[in-house]
Amino acid sequence: MKIGIIGAGIGGLILGYYLSQKGYEITIWEENKEAGGLLRGIPIGNSFIEGYYHHLFTKDHEAINLIKKLGLGEKILFLNGKIGIYYGNKIYPFTGALDLLRFSPLPFVDRWRCGLFTLYLKLLKNGQYLKEITAVGWLKKYMGEKVYKVIWQPLLEGKFGEEAPKISMIWLWNRIYRRGEKLVYLHDGFQQLITRLKEKIEGENGTILIDTKINNIKELPKNKIEVSYNNILHIFDKVIVTTSIPEFIRNTKDLPEKYTRTLREIKYRSGLCVLLFLKKKFLENVYWLNIHDQKMQILSVVEQTNFMKPQDYGNKHVLYVGNYPDSIDNILKMSDQELVRVITKELKKINKDFEEKSIESYYVFRDKEAQPVVTTNYAVPDFHTPIKNLYLMTMAQIYPEDRGINQAVKMAKQLALIIKNEK
């Protein structure tokens, strides 16, 4: 059986791996110049660093097991990732319960209230009843207005903008439930996972076409699927699209209007991440700093070299600055140089000693559809589309969990089994 996969992000590669292991003839197309999607890395020293910050949680068993199966088990690291909050022009530690109890911007009774209900969410095994409850409503009811305003509002509005009041509590519950004090990373970076998946696919005579843009996906008689790319036509028994939903719609002209109308109801936030290589440390003892100042134009500051060692990156200090702007936000239209100047001003508010000249080099990563907006009325698209033998597997189907490597593994395994049973 000939199977085409559109998109060589981590989901497409994992799916290609599982299907190639079952003996299918696999072809994968990727529009970008590198495979890996949001996980793709760049070389630094003797290692790789992801363009967008990544780690796993200890509960991400599917991803960890796949990494081991691919022969990378000895690279797995269990690390402490200390969290901080920037609030009121000050950094507060915010990793565990004791940090919360010491968090002076909240009255003591509110700290206890926040801690109690956070513990409830961490112990809750099934959060399905939270699906149709907004995160804003639940947080205000149980944790109180003050806790919501100080702790949760900057995070929800920073990530989802005007859509924040509609976000389902089940999405936030899953984030809290999965997170622990220990985080999981691969020594030398997740690029190894991408490389190993490519090797396995190509080792089974699979084909991965990089820098290849899809022109059209078309239904043919006898349930065949035609894919056109670079003015080349190729016919497949089955095709799976792993790109964003807007891209899927743009590339597939034969989709029924009723179906596409439903898909268009799913909204996305853009992803913006600037990767800085610095001459010296920026944060003290904080890996992940959430910005709780809504006047600032950044949402998170992640110092990778407070997680890993600078020696792992050629003795450079590595800092991520991230945000999830609306697709029409002016910050997305800035040149790389303009963006770095804006970010420098924001970073200087956090660390007054920071200067632009301390930046040795930088990379800017932008993704128009990086975060699906999971509202209370969120309708998860099915793997099956109205076109027989054309399937959809995208991050917008990861629910109620947030997108990530573990969720990509679970979804790919599920769809691979469906395809096997439908031959």
For residues 29 and 154, membership in a common domain is answered with no
By C-alpha distance, which of 278, 304, 66, 62 is closest to 192?
66
In a domain, 25, yes or no: yes
CA distances from 332 to 235, 243, 259, 317 (A): 38, 21, 30, 25
Strand order through the sheet with 2-6: 207-209, 25-29, 2-6, 238-241, 390-392
Task: Tell me the β-bridge partners of 239.
Answer: 4, 390
Picking from 131, 155, 180, the residue at the C-terminal end of a domain is: 180
For residues 359 and 291, membership in a common domain is answered with yes
Domain containing 339 equals: 268-372
In a domain, 105, yes or no: yes
Distance CA 166, CA 392 (A): 25
Confidence of residue 328 (pLDDT cuts 50, 70, 90): low
Distance CA 118, CA 131 (A): 17
Confidence of residue 401 (pLDDT cuts 50, 70, 90): confident
In a domain, 185, yes or no: no
Are 131 and 123 a contacting pair, CB within 8 Å? no
**Contacting residues for 277 by C-beta, under 8 A, at least 6 apart:** 44, 313, 316, 317, 318, 319, 359, 360, 361, 362
Query: Does the structure show a pLDDT above 90 at 423?
Result: no
| R_g of the chain computed on alpha carbons | 22
For residues 257 and 224, membership in a common domain is answered with yes
pTM, 2 dp: 0.93
Question: What mean pLDDT comes out for the span 190-206?
Answer: 96
SS3 249: helix
* 422 DSSP 8-state letter: T
Distance CA 323, CA 294 (A): 12
pLDDT of residue 305: 95
Distance CA 126, CA 220 (A): 43
Q: What is the domain count for the chain?
A: 3
Are 359 and 367 a contacting pair, CB within 8 Å? no
Question: What mean pLDDT comes out for the span 145-149?
Answer: 97
Picking from 149, 180, 211, the residue at the C-terminal end of a domain is: 180
Question: What mean pLDDT comes out for the span 120-148?
Answer: 95
For residues 280 and 255, membership in a common domain is answered with no
Q: What's the CATH number where 48 sits?
A: 3.50.50.60
Distance CA 235, CA 284 (A): 56
pLDDT of residue 299: 95
For residues 383 and 340, membership in a common domain is answered with no
pLDDT tens, position by position, 278-298 = 999 999 989 999 999 989 999
In a domain, 89, yes or no: no
For residues 211 and 251, membership in a common domain is answered with yes
pLDDT tens, position by position, 342-396 = 999 999 999 999 998 999 999 999 998 999 999 998 999 999 999 999 999 999 9
* Number of C-beta neighbours around residue 282 at 10 A: 22
Picking from 115, 150, 180, the residue at the C-terminal end of a domain is: 180
pLDDT of residue 330: 80
In a domain, 310, yes or no: yes
Distance CA 26, CA 201 (A): 8
Q: What's the CATH number where 311 sits?
A: 3.90.660.20
For residues 258 and 217, membership in a common domain is answered with yes
pLDDT tens, position by position, 4-48 = 999 999 999 999 999 999 999 999 999 999 999 989 888 887 789
168-172, 198-202, 327-331: which has the minimum mean pLDDT? 327-331
Are 327 and 122 a contacting pair, CB within 8 Å? no
Distance CA 154, CA 164 (A): 10
In a domain, 296, yes or no: yes
State which amino acid sits at residue 71: G
Average pLDDT, the chain: 94
For residues 252 and 378, membership in a common domain is answered with yes
269 backbone dihedrals φ, ψ, rounded to 5°: -105, 145
For residues 248 and 157, membership in a common domain is answered with no
Distance CA 255, CA 257 (A): 6
For residues 320 and 415, membership in a common domain is answered with no
Question: What mean pLDDT comes out for the span 159-178?
Answer: 93
Q: What's the CATH number where 115 sits?
A: 1.10.3110
Confidence of residue 70 (pLDDT cuts 50, 70, 90): very high
For residues 358 and 381, membership in a common domain is answered with no
In a domain, 60, yes or no: no
In a domain, 79, yes or no: no
Share of the chain above pLDDT 70, in %: 99
For residues 347 and 385, membership in a common domain is answered with no
